[in-house]
Structure 1
Amino acid sequence: MASILADQQSANLPKKSRKPLKARKNPENEDNIMVGNACEPSPVGLSSIPIADKENPKHGARKNKKNISESLAVELQKMQEKLESLSLEKQRAEELLKERDALLKQKEEELEIRGKDQERLQIEIKKLQKLKEFNPNVALPTSTSEDKQKDKKEKKAKKKKDKKPCSAYILWSKEQWNQVKSENPGAEFKEISNILGSKWKSLSVEEKKPYEDRCQADKQAYQQIVGKEKRENEAMKLLMEQQKQRIAMELLEQYLQFKQDGDKEAKKKGKEKDPLKPKKPLSSFFLYCNERRPSLVTQNNNVLEISKIVGEEWKNMTEEDRAPYEEAAKKEKEQYSREMELYKQKKAEEEENIRRQEEENTKVQKQEALQLLKKKEKTEKIIKKVKATHKKKKENRDTNKPKKPPTSFLLFSKEARKTLMEGNPGVSNSTLHALISVRWKELNEADKKIWNEKAAEEMEAYKKAMEEYNRSTEAEGNKSLPTDKVQSRKLNVFKEVH
């Protein structure tokens, strides 16, 4: 078309203007000009055609077509390269999205595990808090450093006071030391001790006897003091053990009460959920909700609005659209059933192990109980034997035989018990005995003398009764004995008299 128009224009022009046109200086490429005006007639005319093509216009049009096709091919190649680069970028973006989804899933799983762990920790913390709340009302005996230092000082003072008694030789040497030293002023310690040793050897038994008697008396006094202290220490140990047992029993009762209260509270709250138990699968509708929710949340919709929209969409959906969600729900249900089977198997194994362990513990407890029962039976047999022998002795005893009189302390304790029981109702026997013994020790010699005289009077009456009892038993024995034995006894008495 461009060539035909050019020919028409050249025919209409006058002959005077048929001069060679100068080529227009154009910095742009010819291909660009031809691409922009390939289908349109050029308004300028032949000015757009180069000088070489004016002589042969058909050849120039063909050349322009080739240039246009080449430029189009180049642009197509560029577009294809861009499309390929875009497709590669898309693949990379999809891969990155998949990786991000996988990381998000992992993080969600980690968060779930952390949540479960936190729940467990909270349960344990609550239990520990309950245990920490256990505040017993019993004052436990505690020994401080000051008490220990006091005990050490008291022990040292007792050791100084309660020195061992000296021997008879040392008592004599203390008296004779100054005399021997005055006789031998220049003598040393060894010489003086040698002189005293030789003198002690030369002493007779009668001269040594007073010192030996003094040593014996000191030893007896020392033994009494030491024995008294030992007995007091043993009594204090027994008392401390009894107090500890009482405190332990009180603590145990309080702890058991506290535990019962905690068990009641736990029952009220209900059973704790097992975190290892698999969660129930979602239905097809909820799967669709989870998929649709993020897009609706971006539109700033409320929870109620989202639920309404999703419900309407689900109702209007066809069976073909619902099919993928129903298949996914079916797969999750199958997986849940497998996990539940494994969970039930594990639970059954754990219960079986617990049952076996309990059976073993019961067997051990039964064995221990049988051993204790055997020990108890042995002790009961021994007690029965002792009681039987004691009964035989009692049966053999004579009922007419007078009983021994009580001591002065027993006479005092009978009266003191009455007064203490009236003043302190509900006091135990052990405390009563302790109070009576303390009062007896605090009595004066004059008060003790009264009780000793009463005991002596009862003892004299007992002696007279025993004399009468012995006479009666002898007379009865002589009557019961045969004549030969009576004659032999008379002969023995006659020999003793003569």
Structure 2
Amino acid sequence: VTPSVTPAQTAINSRKDRKLKRPMNAFLIFNKEMRPRVLETNPNMTVAEISKTIGENWRGMSEEQREVYLEKARNLKSEFHESNPDFVYTRRSKAELAAAGHHSYSKKRNFGQVDQSEESDDGGEHPRGTSHSNHTDAPPAGSPAKDPRGRKKKRNRHPTAPKHPMSGFLFYALEMRPHVAEQNPGSTVGPISKIIASHWKNLTPEERAKWEKQASDDKARYAREMEIYLQGQKDEE
């Protein structure tokens, strides 16, 4: 007797066949670019603190600064639809999630980690949170190992690629964070980030010039290194 296949399982099988991943929205692109930078500057930060810092930095950016990432998101979305013209995104039902082995979590979430499955369909820039579990089970075979701080080490697909350039605000935030933390002992990451963002908004264009210059130089550095990197990729081919 041929076992019956439920509609939920059929939908899951269809997803597995396509294996398509939706393009990242603007905030996720920003998050991906800045996470290694923040970790490099603040190696003792926890995952939640890093995520919160990135979120606060995002909210402290001007519309012009965000537009860089919004444009990247629009381009990714356009490329995705051009490559997959027949793809239609639908949210999975509870039955599909259960059949796929996903477990439901508390609806109350802490702002921090980004969940790409919940990004807005318009490529929006709203950071979303996910719950964190405190289990200490060993990772499944074949999964990336964790470092001593509990962070899951992601495999870098392009380990030799140049680091993305930072904005003037991010250069400012990284420079000012130690000073603000020293002036506000006992403050957590969130309040400190808000203070930095508030200070940045009150700076005049002349006062911002120092960090905007650093951002401009970093952008030029990235362009040079990317040109060399891409040429190296062609040579390897």
| TM-score bin, normalised by smaller chain | 0.3 to 0.5
Structure 1 or 2, whichever has the larger Rg, is 1
Higher relative contact order, chain-length normalized (CA < 8 Å, sep 6+) = 2
